[in-house]
Amino acid sequence: ESEKTAYKRVMLKISGEALMGDTSFGLHPPTVQRVAREVKSVHDMGVEICMVIGGGNIFRGLQGSAQGMERTTADYMGMLATVMNALAMQSALEELGIHTRVISAITMNEVAEPYIRRRAVRHLEKKRVCIFAAGTGNPYFTTDTAATLRANEMNCEAIFKGTKVDGVYDKDPAKHSDAKRYEEVSYDEVLQQHLGVMDASAIALARDNDLPIIVFSLDEPGGFRGILAGEGTYTIVQ
Ligand code: UDP
């Protein structure tokens, strides 16, 4: 049976690249399914789950604009990429018997629900996983900001940022063997030292609303569930 957790409602933020597996573009279905199983194991604990998935495995606005595309158009393409990722995750979760809703910040009624805050809250109360797609619906933002915004709106207790490493380090642990992981770091330290947790607007939005950010490894099987049960290694930004 399920372990105990202190958390009632959380936001899981993952990048689009987390769904790419070892490939260099797009979606790798076995990886999507693996992430879905991690989400299910936390859902099984009775935790209400919000998700935001990036779009960088398909399209990034900045890359498009660097190649001569108009920036806002490129950003809308990036937002549309997040909708594809959200649908892939929805499909994988429903395959595991979990009810989900994809809720889009850009209306596309045939594909996803529009974002209506009270409705989203109700879904969470009914234990449906809410996957928030299309970022904030605005160009010049990122999905990290979208995750922070929705986490605040949904009254999540924390943002869980799933990455390739088990926390925030003082330097890149892939390049430096003496890199040290922080157990805890403040929002201002993250901003001042440019620690690559999330972009600055997202960090500031979390700070101004006292929303903790927990950075952990999504590659560690059972890691997400373990941290919710009070185990494992991670960094908490608060
Ligand atoms: N994006 C946007 N507004 C938002 C969220 C995302 O314009 O509120 C666009 C932006 O172009 C970004 C792309 O969507 O590059 C994909 O999102 P992001 O880069 O955050 O994805 P990740 O790096 O997490 O995969």
Tokens of 82: 């997040």
Q: Is 31 part of any known ligand binding site?
A: no
- pLDDT category, 8, cuts 50, 70, 90? very high
- Is the ipTM here above 0.90? yes
Q: Is 187 part of any known ligand binding site?
A: no
- pLDDT for res 2: 60
Does the pTM exceed 0.90?
yes
Over residues 166-192, the pLDDT tens digits come to: 999 999 999 999 999 999 999 999 999
- pLDDT for res 3: 78
133 Cα: distance to centroid of ligand 1 (angstroms): 10
Asked if residue 200 has pLDDT above 90, the reply is yes
Cβ–Cβ < 8 Å for 52, 143: yes
79 Cα: distance to centroid of ligand 1 (angstroms): 6
Q: Is 139 part of any known ligand binding site?
A: yes
Burial of 219 (0-12, 13-18, 19+ CB in 10 A): middle
What CATH homologous superfamily does 9-237 map to? Acetylglutamate kinase-like (3.40.1160.10)
Distance CA 120, CA 49 (A): 11
Mean per-residue pLDDT, 147-153: 98
Asked if residue 108 has pLDDT above 60, the reply is yes
